[in-house]
Structure 1
Amino acid sequence: MADFSYRSLRVLITGHTGFKGSWLAQWLLMQGAQVCGYALPPNTKPALFEVLDLAPQLTRHELGDILDYPRLQAVFKAFEPDIVFHLAAQPLVRLSYTQPVQTYAVNVMGTLNVLEAARQTPSVRAVVNVTTDKCYENTETHRAYRETDPLGGYDMYSSSKACSEILSASYRRSFLQNSFALATARAGNVIGGGDWAQDRLLPDCMRALAAGAPIVLRSPHALRPWQFVLEPLGGYLLLGEKLLMQGQKFAQAFNFGPDNRHPLTVEEMARLAVACYGSGSVKIQPDNGPHEAALLTLDSTKAHAQLGWRPVYLAAEAVRETVAWYKQFYTAGKEVKNFTARQIQQFQECLPWKKN
């Protein structure tokens, strides 16, 4: 990204009021992009989108459902984006067991609506569809998954994201030979400040620590591809750059996973959070909840080789940065906005493909 900037580009983000969407919007604003967001209102209290006061900073802030195609298309037509980052989704495994129809509607038909709106908007040159590492048919072996491995998914969330991947590949072949460049991005379990979703490890840890309660773990030995939130976002931005500059050459699927040389279990992550916070305890309490994969890792060789992307932080550093953000939030209030900007700037200065 050394010779490329999003400055003045018109960028549309679906799901901009969510955790990752808010971080991405903040990063793009710091680069000087004109950002339009389209999403439902934030679904947590507090919400990072509101903590960062992003709404007045955006060129356009639209509250809407990606299942409302006429409204979505109208926003695309009015804003005329150069590139779209599609993050809007139902992102929780456990919720997909209780809301399977809504999960499929949002993650599959919602994606189709976004792609159709982009196809009907001549200004669009690139789309990055953000899916998940869970789109693979997970056999829970000790081999990291590559982009050529079979897609699948045990639960409704995972399988809906596999469908989104299949849809994207089919859409590309059917309609996009002479249109915008479409790529998909598969990332692992993301951690970072400002996530208050339920049933996610670090948010659950921080809620417990802030309340002086023990951290309760249901799957202490599960391994996940933990990564700091800016890691995959940097990958999405780099992929978007490649699509804008070289088009269909990079219209493919890419994994953006962490360094797998030092994997950490759920229990190790929780105990590290306690150490970084300076107090707290961990309690193991297995439950009989719905199935969740015990082992899942990504092979990011393709992103390394073709994009030049590399992870910056190990899992331990990701936990440290995440805990630091929450401590700043709970102690300094509004100052967390500047702290967030500093975390982005510090991370950006470490990127192997971009040195300021």
Structure 2
Amino acid sequence: MNAPIRRVLLTGAAGFVGFHVTEALLGEGVEVLGIDNLTPYYDPALKQARLDRLLPRNGFSFEPIDIADYDVLQAAFAAYKPDVIIHLAAQAGVRYSLENPRAYASSNLDGFLSILEACRHNPVSHLIYASSSSVYGANAKVPFSEHDGADHPVSLYAATKRANELMAHSYAHLYGIPVTGLRFFTVYGPWGRPDMAYFKFTKAILEGQPIDVYAEAEMSRDFTYVDDIREAIVRLASLPPASDPDFDRLAPDPATAAAPYRIYNIGNHTPVRLDRFIAVIEDACGRSAIKRHLPMQPGDVRATYADVSGLAARVGFRPDTSIEEGIARFVAWYRDFYKV
């Protein structure tokens, strides 16, 4: 049942996906309290530029809060009284988790626990949080389905995201908090993250520098344009899950629960080989890449591929932006933003 949304507390508002979702909500007249600690994992100036676009908007307010600081977060919940929580703040990056594992424990585990506790003590109609396609880890069955198990992560980042899903279920079960987890599949687009491959490739190609290509012939990804991610989140925000009366405890379905808890894939359901993806970026840039071929890195998976039938059934929408269209928009934004 659709529940009208008046007020959203959104974490990671200065982040890539958070910025786009905030813009969409404001466009629909929803008030948004954005929270972000502007961590320097990548260029803080880009985060500030996103924030500078949001701050003049009617209905937007901002607090520089670290979600791991529970007392400060709790005070923000109590003062703002949000209807819906959209939790997108996290320490991202598979390879970075090999070098700085403790950053993931602080943000993704302690931070998420703070969110859950704040929802417990300040009841909300819906908590939506970002998980990741990386939770599928060593799974070889494709397309990846929420109805399959996801218990063999191959990076600490993936393990923290899977832990979030389990933590969310426990709070949905114990306290009746309606919780929806979203497994994002390789999000890209304007205002994106500089640590992502498409961003690095575009920068290097336009500068005539070599790009590092890992296992080019073996890798494929379900690249998902950020507008499609945004659309799915906004549609789901007003659809809190209910307990599944048909949940079978003898054969439990990982995608549903006796608690008000659901998980959805959000992907373009069209895996693209890495060599083709690079060719599309080359076309958009009007230049050829200088490739430096390297083997697959620890924590990487060979392919991602989303089954989005659950999402389509729930909200009547499935991502469909082609990589040609999405990359062209990204490169145009990149040239404009960086004055290339």
Residue 258 of structure 1 aligns with which residue? 268
Match of 1:219 among 215, 222, 227: 215
Q: Paired residue for 2:128?
A: 128
Equivalent position of 1:161 in the other structure: 161
- Aligned residue number for residue 274 of structure 1: 282
**Post-superposition CA distance 1:52-76 (Å, at most 9, x none):** 5223436321111111000000011
Matched, 1:201 2:197: yes
Corresponding residue for 1:77? 78
Matched residues in 2 for 1:295 and 1:95: separation?
20
Instruction: Name the residue aligned to 1:299.
Output: 307
Q: Deviations over 1:62-118 (max 9, x none)?
A: 111111000000011111111110011111001111122221232122112101112
* Structure 1 residues 205 and 112: alpha-carbon distance in aligned structure 2, compared to 1, 3 A threshold: same
Distance in structure 2 (CA, Å) of the matches to 1:308 and 1:251:
19
Tell me the secondary structure at the aligned position of residue 53 of structure 1: helix
Deviates further, 227-236 or 317-326: 317-326
| 2:210 and 2:292 in contact (8 A); partners too | no
CA distance in 2 between counterparts of 1:31 and 1:248 reads 29
Q: 1:5 Cα deviation (Å)?
A: 7.1
Distance change in 2, residues 1:139/1:215 (3 Å): same
Return the alpha-carbon distance in structure 2 between the equivalents of residues 163 and 191 of structure 1.
Answer: 24
Q: Which amino acid aligns with 1:255?
A: N
Partner of 1:65: 66
In structure 2, distance between residues paired with 1:132 and 1:277 = 29
Relative to structure 1, the CA distance from residue 328 to residue 5 in structure 2 (aligned partners, 3 Å threshold; closer, same or farther) is: farther
What root-mean-square deviation, in Å, do the aligned CA atoms of Structure 1 and Structure 2 show?
Answer: 2.3
Q: Which residue of 2 aligns with 1:353?
A: none
Deviation (angstroms), 1:290: 2.5
CA distances 1:269-288 after superposition (whole Å, capped 9, x unpaired): 11211101212324032057
Amino acid at match of 2:157: Y
- C-alpha change, 1:196 and 1:305, in structure 2 (3 Å) is closer
Aligned to 1:286: 294
AA at the equivalent of 1:202: Y
Q: Which residue of 2 aligns with 1:147?
A: 146
Q: How far, CA to CA, are the matches of 2:132 and 2:118 in structure 1?
A: 22
Contact 2:131/2:183, CA 8 A, preserved across alignment: yes
User: Partner of 1:293: helix, strand, or coil?
Assistant: coil
Distance 1:190 1:209 in 2: 20
CA distance in 1 between partners of 2:182 and 2:213 (Å): 29
Stretches of structure 2 lacking an aligned partner (at least 5 in a row): 245-259
Partners of 2:147 and 2:263 lie apart in 1 by 9
Work out the CA distance in 1 between the residues paired with 2:205 and 2:39: 23
- Which moved further from structure 2: 299-308 or 45-54? 45-54
Q: Could you tell me which amino acid in structure 1 is paired with residue 269 of structure 2?
A: D
* Kept after mapping to 1: 8 A contact 2:280/2:323: no
Closer, same or farther: CA 288–220 of 1 in aligned 2, 3 Å? closer
- Distance in 2, matches of 1:330 and 1:274, equals 18
Which residue does 1:108 correspond to in 2? Answer: 109
TM-score, normalised on structure 2? 0.86
Distance 1:137 1:281 in 2: 30
AA aligned to 1:128 is I
Deviation at 1:247, TM superposition (A): 5.3
Q: Partners in 2 of 1:70 and 1:255 — Cα distance?
A: 32
Q: SS of 2:239's equivalent?
A: helix
How many residue pairs get aligned? The number is 319
What is the deviation of 1:310?
1.4
Report SS of the residue matched to 1:220.
Answer: coil
Please say if 1:326 is aligned against 2:334: yes
* Cα contact 2:269–2:306 (8 A) shared by 1: no
Residue of structure 2 in register with 1:183 after alignment? 180
Describe the shift of the 1:220–1:197 C-alpha distance in structure 2 as closer, same or farther (beyond 3 A): same
Higher helix share: 1
In 1, Cα distance between equivalents of 2:239 and 2:296: 45
Q: Distance in 1 between matches of 2:298 and 2:86?
A: 31
Once the two structures are TM-superposed, the CA of residue 34 in structure 1 deviates from its matched residue by 1.0
Query: Under a length normalisation based on structure 1, what TM-score does the superposition of the two structures give?
Result: 0.83
Task: State the SS of the aligned residue for 1:131.
Answer: strand
Residue 251 (structure 2) pairs with residue 241 (structure 1): no
Identity of aligned residues (%): 26
Relative to 1, partners in 2 of residues 1:320 and 1:48: Cα closer, same or farther, differing over 3 Å? Answer: farther
Picking from 312, 330, 334, the partner of 2:320 is 312
Q: Deviations over 1:239-298 (max 9, x none)?
A: 11212xx755774111111132xx312221112111012123240320574331111211
